[in-house]
Amino acid sequence: MSIYRRSAARWIRRLVIGAVAIGLIALPGPAATARPQTAAVVTRAKYVYLTFDDGPSSPYTAQILKILRAYGARATFFEIGKNVKSYPAQTRRVYQMGNSVQNHTWSHPDLRNVSAATFRAQVLTTDRYIRAQTGYTPRCLRPPYGSTNKLVSRRAAALGKKVRVWTIDTRDWSRPGTSVIVRRALANVHSGSVILMHDGGGNRSQTVAALPTILKTLKARGYSFTTMSCT
């Protein structure tokens, strides 16, 4: 190659390199992969805890279970030990249908006013009867009347229990009427609400009558129904 050709070649290389540097010429490379832009949609499930105290009983526990099954709902039953002893098959049925069975003491005393020995007996005897029907030892304790304080919580914790009360009280035990029970259950409900009703301790026909409307309305509002385990 003559000196003129070598000079021309060097000039062309410099020209090409300069063009690439300023972007006039694009060198071949891997094709860019398009990344679709997707909007992040965050949906938070809404749920409530339906809880029933003072059972099991006849015929109300069985009626409530039938309604819960019809609406695909589950609940937490805080049961009294003496009633479990009287209606063991009901407790077994509550558990077998996917509901949670928890401790509501043996005979429904105010736990703030009992001795340490009585507290222990009230809770552990109830545990034993519930475990005989379910194979499960309750981890939640609901003090009767919702009466609790630091001493009750401390004694419960020593027995492996967490105290659980409620956020919405329908006061259905007073038999105020079906429509009143419905209104009280739904008035201030939000995700995470704990709704208190009863399947024992007296005539619970109004509670049974109110339950379908409560379930239907909550489902229409987008709520699901979950159970307590206190694990």
CB 181 within 8 A of CB 215: no
**What region does 79 belong to: left with phi over 0, alpha with psi -120 to 50, or beta?**
beta
State the residue for tokens 């300069």.
18
Confidence of residue 44 (pLDDT cuts 50, 70, 90): confident
CA-nearest of 31, 79, 41, 24 to 57 is 79
CB 100 within 8 A of CB 136: no
Catalytic hit among 53, 54, 127, 199: 53
For the stretch 131-159, pLDDT in tens is: 999 999 999 999 999 999 999 999 999 99
Is the peptide bond preceding residue 30 cis, with omega within 30 degrees of 0?
no
190 annotated active-site: no
Report all structural domains of the chain as residue ranges with CATH numbers, in order of start: 55-226 (3.20.20.370)
* Chain centroid offset of residue 157 CA: 21
Residue 113 in this model has a pLDDT that exceeds 80: yes
198 annotated active-site: yes
Q: pTM for this structure?
A: 0.82
CB 84 within 8 A of CB 133: yes
For the stretch 51-103, pLDDT in tens is: 999 999 999 999 999 999 999 999 999 999 999 999 999 999 999 999 999 99
Confidence of residue 13 (pLDDT cuts 50, 70, 90): low
Catalytic hit among 108, 172, 198, 199: 198
